[in-house]
Amino acid sequence: MGEEKEKDSLIDWIGSAIGFIVIGFIVFILIWPLIDPTPEKSSTLKENIHKATGK
């Protein structure tokens, strides 16, 4: 029984780690326009959509 519990806790730890990485990545994407170091700021999402659709 102890071995089964150990395996579950390892899977839980891996799942939590992946969750933290994903959340961190999403937060980074949302904050990036505020901390963008380039002199000419990156295009906004709206501008990128217009370029991609050609409208």
The predicted-structure confidence for 6-52, as pLDDT tens digits, reads as follows: 777 888 999 999 999 999 999 998 888 777 767 666 666 777 777 77
What pLDDT is recorded for position 43?
64
Residue of 27 and 3 predicted with greater confidence = 27
The alpha carbon of residue 11 and the mean position of all alpha carbons in its chain are separated, in whole angstroms, by 21
What pLDDT is recorded for position 33?
77
**How far is Cα 45 from Cα 20, in angstroms, rounded to an integer?**
25
Q: Are 36 and 42 in contact (CB under 8 A)?
A: yes
pTM: 0.52
Closest CA to 32 of 21, 22, 43: 43
What pLDDT is recorded for position 18?
97
